[in-house]
Amino acid sequence: MSLLRGVLATEERERSSIWSTAAGLFAGVRTEAARAAAREAPLDVGEFLRGPHQLHVVAPSRYQAVTTPLVVGLVEELVHATYDRQPEGARLLLALDELANVAPLPRLAGIVSEGGGQGVLTLACLQDLSQARARWGTSAEGFLSLFPTTLILPGIADRPTLEMLRHLAGRELAASPSVQRDKKGRTTGHSTTWIERDRVTVSELAQGRDGRALGLDAHNQLKWVELTPAYRDPRFRPYLERPSRERATSRDR
């Protein structure tokens, strides 16, 4: 109540800006879907963290503007509840696809840096760092150092992202052997010149290799990692086969 009194006591132009911002933040709770969800039982956070439970949050692109505050609030609540229950064994994996659009956590850097020691592991996916820069500003430049492991898939077109990855990978000495020959073409000697070069080029980063991704570890060591298609992995094959069986059963009916 005192907060509302303070808002009402402000100058009219400033108050109008406050109401406008608040209306945008709460737009998601004024939708029919939010009203319908509010009739259901609330999420029991304690029970969720006590067992091997999963919570899937889907935010279609046309609704992201209004759902972002709700998603961020939910994730933040789960993170802090995990911190509180970590001595009891609570663990939380945040698998955040389309991070900058669906779940742009204001405290992302803090969650990634301190979460590992408090039971929260973060797996974040971005198209490239231009998305992060648009959302988190200059702090996005440190994301590649903040996350201990980075997996780079082909298709990145953002030049600053590619250049940053190239610099992080560093340089190496490569042997360049040569052969000396006389006028008759006979070998007279051998020599080796060491040339300093980038460990990976911008084109290699952008184009990648078929069936592989480039891994960057906490020590900025590069390694090409083989990618296993989901249909070849026995852990995921049943989930891919299930929709086909369901469609076949539906046709039989």
Angstrom distance (rounded) from CA 46 to CA 23: 31
What percent of the chain lies above the pLDDT cut of 70? 95
Question: Residue 246 pLDDT more than 70?
Answer: no
Q: Give the model confidence (pLDDT) of 234-245 as tens digits.
A: 888 887 776 555
Strand bridging mode 92-96 / 150-152: unpaired
pLDDT in tens, 102-142: 888 888 888 988 888 899 999 999 888 888 888 888 888 78
Q: Residues 187-200: what's their mean pLDDT?
A: 83
Q: What is the per-residue pLDDT across 134-146, written as a single tens digit (0 to 9) for each?
A: 888 888 878 888 8
Q: Where in the chain are the domains?
A: 29-147
Share of the chain above pLDDT 90, in %: 13
Whether residue 80 is predicted with pLDDT greater than 90 in this model: the reply is yes
Topology of domain 29-147, CATH: Rossmann fold (3.40.50)
Q: pLDDT digit string (tens) for 158-183?
A: 888 888 888 888 888 888 888 888 77
Report the C-alpha gap between 241 and 250 in whole angstroms.
Answer: 14
